[in-house]
Amino acid sequence: MYRYLLFLTLFFSTLQASVSKAEADLRWDVEIPMSVGSQAFVNFEDRKIPIGKVMKIPSSSRYPAYTASAWGKPGRVCASAVNAIHMLLSVEKGKGRTISLIPSETVAPAATPGTAIVLEGKGGMGIFGAWAPPVGTPVTIRSPEGTERPLTADDLPREGETVKLRVETFAPPLFVEIENHPGGKVSTLSERGYRTIAKVVRPVGGTGRFGGTLYQSVSRLRANHTGVIDISTSPYGEIGGFQIVPLKHGDSPEMASMWHMTQWMILAPLDGVPLAGNPPLFDGYLVPGPIQVEDQDNVNFLSLWAKYGRRSLALCRIDGGPWRFLPESIGRKDNSLKSLTHLRIYFPDDREPLKD
């Protein structure tokens, strides 16, 4: 089993190395009309794919937004999740100002009334699943005349205009692997080989009630933003998961409890290179992907499963054993992951590796 997984890992790494930058970019547009009742679309190649009707448009922005929003880039997506997408307008006095995109059926505390575009639908689907934009995706506003301008705090989208997200995906690492103990290595594997990018300050030991996990399944990514990776340990329709955060988030008022609770893994940068708001963990790559889970019992096909279909996956080793899916854990269970020794998160990558 181990040799087979190693073969798949090396096989896909070799394929990645042969893909040119032009081929590595997968692009599509998300177009959301600022008109209640209008249909939002994903424009992909020669297809227009409906992702829900617009139910509400924002009349204002949220300030101050959640702390980590300020680590994003204005005019870009600063959070991508199964239950909300947040877009950064500006950073003012060290705090972010945002508007959001949410499904009509959701739990999204960071999106307050009047500050969100609401699309008809459920969390975990459409732009909150298979078509989710990664953190860092540019956001523009197109006028009825066809001109485009960046999303800014001084010029919110108006009735009759269109919000446009231009999704560009570049060659990610194959996975990030984490040793779940104090001082443990955080390493990525890509065509360049292994690279250690951080270390573990505080390991994860349990799960908690992170609301958005209601719309995700076990061993899948619930959310990624400039200061959080949120992993679900509960089936779709149940709540349970844990979070991975950079050390910088320890100074955030809303994260003060993470130092004496087991539901957070805390990572520290190496050589002074910041983790928060930067790729590969907190910008650029990770997205929730579609909610469907195929063949969870067949670990042989995990690399293929992550490779095609834009699925983020989390695997673990318990007491140093073989790689497996995370154990199911619903709600707050402080010790449900105490035996977890290794964690691996596969980066979603739907590029076609073989092209003429």
* Cα distance between residue 98 and residue 58, in whole Å: 11
pLDDT of residue 251: 72
**What is the biggest distance separating any 2 CA atoms in the chain, rounded to whole angstroms?**
61
- pLDDT (0 to 100) of residue 2: 40
Residue 82's pLDDT is what?
94
Distance CA 272, CA 264 (A): 22
Residue (of 49, 1, 67) closest to 258 by Cα position: 67
How far, rounded to the nearest angstrom, does the alpha carbon of residue 6 sit from its chain's CA centroid?
26
pLDDT of residue 110: 66
Structure tokens at 257: 């409890």
pTM assigned to the model: 0.87
Per run of 10 residues, the mean pLDDT along the chain (length 356 residues) is: 41 37 61 98 91 95 95 97 96 96 81 90 90 95 96 94 91 92 96 93 96 92 96 95 92 78 95 90 90 50 52 91 96 97 89 49
Which residues of the chain form beta strands (DSSP E)? Answer: 26-33, 39-44, 47-56, 76-81, 85-92, 95-105, 116-122, 139-142, 148-150, 162-169, 175-179, 185-190, 193-202, 220-225, 228-232, 241-246, 264-269, 313-318, 324-325, 340-346
Q: Which residue is listed with tokens 């290794």?
A: 342
Specify the pLDDT at position 305.
Answer: 52
What pLDDT sits at residue 304?
Answer: 53
Please tell me the predicted confidence (pLDDT) of residue 309: 53
Cα separation, 62 vs 221, whole angstroms = 25
Q: Give residue 354's pLDDT.
A: 45
Amino acid 271: pLDDT: 81
**Residue 319: per-residue pLDDT:** 98
Closest CA to 82 of 311, 334, 284: 311
According to the model, what pLDDT value does residue 19 have? 34
Query: Any idea what the Cα angle at residue 285 is, between residues 10 and 248, rounded to 5°?
Result: 115
* DSSP track, 259-270: GG-SSEEEEEES
Q: Tell me what pLDDT residue 191 has.
A: 84
